[in-house]
Chain A
C-alpha cells in the first residue's frame, strides 16, 4: 500500500526485464503499472493519463518490441518524460533591475509558507549574500507574525511587521519604504494562507502584488497534496503570474506526485524543496535528479553535492570512490558512518542511494540515528584486525559475544550488523561492475535486489555523465 512510486515502477520494469523480449501485452502491463504508480503517487489523473499515453506512443514509435534492451529503453522513455514534465534544469531566483527584489510567498493554509519564507531568507543570505528583509503580512492566522519574528531572530534576518491592525497591502508598502531606507536588496513577503476559493483573500493578494511588483511569486505547495493540487495550481496560476514553486515537507514518505501536477498546470519550475524542520532544510530542486530518484536510480548526485557542502571536496570524492569500490572493510564503514552523520538524517541519505529504498524497507524502517550510534559502538568494540576482516567475526561466536558485551548490545545486533554490512558490500560490488557496463553484473544486481535496485542498472537514466561541476 505504501510502497514508493519508484518501487512500483521498478516492479513493472522487473517484469519487462525478466522477459528479454517484449510482447504487446508486456507494454500494456507496464503502462498499467506506470499509471497505477503515478496515481498512487498523487499525480493528477488527467496528467497520469497524458503521461502514460505519451510513453506508449514513444515506446511504440521506437519499435522497442524488437529490441533486446527494451527494458532500458522504456526506463529511458519514462525518465525522459518525467524530466520533460518537471523541466530539465535547476531554476534560479531572479533579481529585479531596480532593488529591492520582491519575493511573494503564496499558498493555502498549512502548506508551510512562514517556515519556507524564513528558510529562503536564510538561504539567500548565506549562499547569495543578499540583505533580506522578511515581511509579516499574514494578519489572520493567530501568532503567524510572532512565528516569523521568532524564526527571523533565529536566523539573524530582520523582520518587518506592523501587527494585525494594518491591511496587508499597506504593510507591504511600508516594508518596501523600509527596505529602501535600510539598504535591503531582497524583500520576502509572507502572506496569509488562503484557499483558492476565498475571493476576498485572492483580491487582497492581487493588491499586494500591485503594490510590490514582485520579481518572484512563489507558490508554496505541500508535497503531500493530493488531486486537489490541480485546483490550487490552476486558480493561483490564473490570477497571478507565478514564477516558481516551493515544495514543502519533501522529507515525508510522500511520493510527491503533486509536483508533477503543479508543474504541468502552471508550467512553473519547482525551485526549492523543504526537507526538514530546521532552518537549513531548504534545497535547490534538480528536476532530472528527482526523475531518476522516482525511477529508483537514487540520487547519488544530490548526495555528492551535499557531501561537498558538508565535508570537503577531497573527502567527497573519496566517499564516491568508496561507494563504488569493491574492497570495503568495517574500518571504511566506520569512517563512512562518521561522515554520513555529518550529512544529515540517515533516512534521507539512504533514500538517495540507488537500491537503498528497498533495502530500507527490508530493515523495517528502523533506520534512525540512534541505530547509527549502536553500529558505531559495535564496530568500536572490534579489534582492528576484525574490522579489516569481518569474516573473523562472522566465523567465531565467542568473538561476537565479546563484541556484544563490549558494546552494550545483544549478539543478534552484532549479527544483524554483519549481515547488513555483507549485503552492502555485495551491493557496492555490483555498482562497480555496473560502471564497466558488465552485463553479468547487471543481471546479478537485478537478481539480488529483485526489482529493488534494478533501475540502477541503466546509467542512461541519470548518472555520472550528467554530473554538474
Chain B
C-alpha cells in the first residue's frame, strides 16, 4: 500500500481533517480573503507552522494574481507545487554500495527509533542484504529486548550487551562483528534523548567518532526519527540533532495518525534536511521511501 493510499485511508477515518477542511475552502467559487484565511487554518492544522504557512500562501497569492486566477479550486495545484518545490528533490532510499553501510538512528524519546530500525532491517533483508543491528539504547528499561523482538521478526542478528553498559562499547563490538561477518548494512539504535540535553548530545558525537574511527567514511547515514504528531518543536529537534550528529535524513513516523508532520517543509527549507522515509503503521511492512509529490498529493488528496 502506497503512502497515498495510506493517507486516503486515514483521511476517511476522521471527519475533521486537514484536507476536508481545505476542500471546503477550495470549493468556494471566488478567491477572497476568507479563502486564504481558511487555507491558512488548514496549513496550520497540519503543523506547517505560521512562518512557512505565510511564505507558502504569499507565493500562491502572487502566482494566482500573475495568472489572473479567479476560482479557489485553481489554487490547489499552485499550493501543491509550492509544497513540492519547498521539499526539493526526493532524496529517498539510502545509497547502499557493496561495502559496509553504517546507519546511525537518533531521535527524542518515543519517536519510534526502535520500530523504524525493525522496519528498515526487514526492508534491507528483503533486498537480499546482510543486515546487523546494534542495541545502542542501553539506557531505557527493556529497550534491548524490544529491539531483539523486532530483529527476530526481521530475521537479523543483534549485537547487544546488558542494560546500563556503554553504548559506545556496544557499537564498537557491532562494528567489529559487521566487518568480520561481511555485513552490508549495520543499523545502530541509540537511546532516546531530548535535544536540549547537552551531555546526551555530546554522547552522540562520541558514538559518531567511534564509528568513523572503525569504518572510514561512516556513519554513511544519520537518520533522525521524527514523530509526525510533534509540533514546532520538531524544528528544534532537527537543528540540534543536526548540530551534534550531522543528520543526513529524516524518518517521519506515525503518519497513520491524523497528524501530517507539516514541519518537514520548514526543516527542509531552513536546515536542508530531506525526509527519506515515512512510517504509516505498526506492522513491519509499514515503511516507505518518501516522495514529495506523493506527500503533497496526500496533503491535498480531497480536493
Chain A residues within CB distance 8 Å of chain B: 1-2, 36, 39-42, 45-46, 108-112, 140-144, 146-147, 149-151, 154, 195-197, 222, 224-229, 231-232, 249, 251-255, 257-258, 277, 347, 365-370
Contact = CB atoms under 8 A, between A and B. Distances in A.
Given A231-B14, A368-B198, A108 B257 contact: yes
B111 interface: yes
A87 to B, nearest CB: 22
Interface in B260-284: 263, 270, 282
Given A225-B231, A253-B195, A197 B146 contact: no
B195 A110 contact: no
Contact of A254 (B10, B233, B258): B233
Nearest to B44: A45
B183 interface: no
B239 interface: yes
Interface of B: 10, 13-14, 16, 41, 44-47, 49-51, 108-112, 139-143, 145-146, 148-150, 163, 194-199, 227-236, 239, 254, 256-259, 263, 270, 282
A2 B242 CA distance: 15
Contacts of B112: 109-110
A195 B44 contact: no
A150 B141 contact: yes
Given A347-B196, A365-B198, A366-B198, A224 B108 contact: yes
Contacts of A253: 194-196, 233, 236
- Among the interface residues A1, A112, A258, A370, which one has the most CB atoms of the partner chain B within 10 A? A1
Given A40-B50, A150-B163, A231-B258, 19 more contacts: A36-B50, A39-B44, A42-B232, A42-B233, A109-B110, A110-B227, A147-B140, A147-B142, A195-B256, A197-B10, A224-B234, A226-B47, A227-B44, A231-B16, A252-B195, A254-B233, A255-B232, A277-B140, A347-B196
Contacts of B49: 39-40
Contacts of A39: 44, 49-50
Contacts of B46: 227
Contacts of B235: 1-2
Contacts of A231: 14, 16, 257-259
Nearest to A154: B141
Contacts of A141: 146
A151 B257 CA distance: 29
A112 B195 CA distance: 17
A252 B282 CA distance: 26
A261 B198 CA distance: 29
Contacts of A108: 229, 254, 257
A322 to B, nearest CB: 27
Nearest to B50: A39
A228 to B, nearest CB: 4
Contacts of A109: 110, 112, 254
